[in-house]
Amino acid sequence: MDVFLLAAAQIATPLTLIAIVAGTVVGVIVGVLPGLGSVLGLTMVLPFTFSMPQIPAIALMLGVYCGSVYGGSITAIVLNTPGTPQSAATAMEGFPMAQRGEADLAIGWVTAGSTLGGLFSVLVLALAGPLLARFSLQFTPFEYFALALFAMTCIAGVSSGALAKGLMAGGLGVLISTIGADPVTGDMRFTFGSFQMTAGLGLIPVIVGLFAISEMFLRVLDLDEAKPSGAAMRVGFRLPSWVEARKRGGPLLRGSLIGSFVGALPGTGAATAAFIAYSEARRTSSRRDNFGKGEPDGLVACESANNAVTGSALVPTLALGIPGDPVTAVMLGALVIQGIAPGPMLFVDHLDLIYGIFAILVLVNLVMFATGALGAPLFTRVLRIPEPILIGLILVISTVGAYGVNGSLFDVWIAFGAGVVGALIRYFGYPVAPVVIGMVLGPTLEMSLRQGLILGRGDPTVFLERPITVALLLITAAILIWPLVRYLRARLG
């Protein structure tokens, strides 16, 4: 009971409440602007968290995360252009509704669906997080090695069509994480005579470069393309009637369950959850003939799914310290900067913080509903900001983000270099998400491998004596081998 009271006291401060509202509003705006995405939104607010206390900093990040996932649906409805990848499925039903003059009702459906899906995921986090943390207290270096390898392979395999490019990106991320002092012996590695490199390459500057700066560099390639304007579309907010809403309970629940399950898996995210939920809604709906013409079943399913990911994605991040996607990787980096070490001990030593996060997520989802209800017409106005101006402004704030971590100009140059490399590799189809995940998981991979070998007195077969480790290694091997099997079957078949 004391923990609950402490968590409530931490939330009920003006700074935390301001952070929740500000973060949600910024997140929705970022989500509305096509192509920016949750990761860029998080990197933009990151510098604001450096000097904030833990709870308001987390509140700001969670507000941006949830708000950006929801915000993309507004653009999807108004312009048939998803503001974020998570909202691609929303456009399929939302835009037809807008075309027949029901944009306000579509926004009402997605706002309600997102809020309820998000609240459902908080329940999942509250139930599954402590269970997973308790279960993982039994984990030894062997299990952590296999789990990190499994997560890396999933992310590398899912994030782009070419497994080889994904694995190379992930591998390079892990290699970058080895720069600096060896965690076991203290020997310097790959510093190439540079004093600044002895601390390694900072995760935040690399994230800022790979996601924010490279995105701005690539956007100028499409500046001449005609983009749809939302100026002609009247945007409002209207909730559906209770009679209509009651019919969509099934898609809402199924979407929330799918989003919660998918969100906890590494390598998958809100976009995957939204499409799976949409397909499932189409398959099971009694109104499936209306799909593609503006059927609320589809809207509710994909929006509840993509917001249900937000809480469940935090389950492995907080309980194991293993991020499942770039968004949670950025959040994990921010938590570390705040002095919070994600992992099973977080649920033992910092229960007040955990309950605080649950409470923040509930509040964020409620504020998101209010933001959508009150602000939907306003947010679409940001689409009128000319892109050349927006690019300059985003590059400035991103640079502050890179600088603010350590107050070092070296980090600014790291971000710039990562931006140039990121633009080049993204143009040729290399995903950048595995690079970031590799940097985050690299230390876990290496430390658990070397600790395992120390425990096994140098014998690598000791990794095969633990059932969970073997199971995870087999699944990882299957993920790696399956594309080759499919290729051979296609050639022979």
Strand partners, 180: 189
CB of 88 to other proteins, least distance (A): 22
Measure the CA–CA gap between 176 and 435, rounded to whole angstroms. 9
Which residue's CB is nearer to other proteins, number 295 or number 446? 446
From residue 390 to residue 419, the character string flagging contacts with other proteins as x (rule: CB under 8 A) and all else as - is: -xxx-xxx-xx--xx--x-x--xx--x--x
In three-state secondary structure terms, 184 is: coil
| Residue for token pair 């949600």 | 24
Asked if 427 interacts with other proteins (CB under 8 A), we say: yes
Which residue's CB is nearer to other proteins, number 52 or number 378? 52
Report the residue from 386, 490, 492, 493 that binds other proteins according to the rule CB under 8 A.
386
Measure the CA–CA gap between 353 and 339, rounded to whole angstroms. 12
Measure the CA–CA gap between 95 and 109, rounded to whole angstroms. 13
**Of the listed pieces 81-89, 103-111, 313-321, 421-429, which binds other proteins according to CB under 8 A?**
421-429
Report the residue from 26, 27, 41, 48 that binds other proteins according to the rule CB under 8 A.
48
Asked if 157 interacts with other proteins (CB under 8 A), we say: no
Measure the CA–CA gap between 116 and 122, rounded to whole angstroms. 10
Chain positions 164 to 223 lying near other proteins, rule: CB under 8 A, are 164-165, 167-168, 171-172, 174-175, 178, 182, 184-187, 189-190, 192, 213, 216-218, 220-223
Q: How many CB atoms lie within 10 A of CB 271?
A: 23
Measure the CA–CA gap between 188 and 68, rounded to whole angstroms. 40
Q: Do the bridges between strand 188-189 and strand 180-181 make them parallel or antiparallel, or are there none, so unpaired?
A: antiparallel
Report the residue from 12, 345, 424, 464 that binds other proteins according to the rule CB under 8 A.
424
Containing 339, the helix (H) or strand (E) segment is none
Which residue's CB is nearer to other proteins, number 46 or number 92? 46
Please, where are the H alpha helices in 12-87? 14-32, 37-49, 54-79
Give the tokens for residue 289: 């003939």
Asked if 449 interacts with other proteins (CB under 8 A), we say: yes
CA–CA distances in Å: residue 331 to residues 54, 58, 410:
12, 8, 22
| Residue for token pair 């860029």 | 40
Site size for other proteins (CB under 8 A): 68
Asked if 428 interacts with other proteins (CB under 8 A), we say: yes
Give the tokens for residue 142: 């062997």
Asked if 162 interacts with other proteins (CB under 8 A), we say: yes
Give the tokens for residue 416: 């710039």
Which residue's CB is nearer to other proteins, number 14 or number 467? 14
Residues that bind other proteins (CB under 8 A): 47-48, 50-52, 162, 164-165, 167-168, 171-172, 174-175, 178, 182, 184-187, 189-190, 192, 213, 216-218, 220-224, 386-389, 391-393, 395-397, 399-400, 403-404, 407, 409, 412-413, 416, 419-420, 423-425, 427-429, 445-446, 449-451, 453-454, 457-458
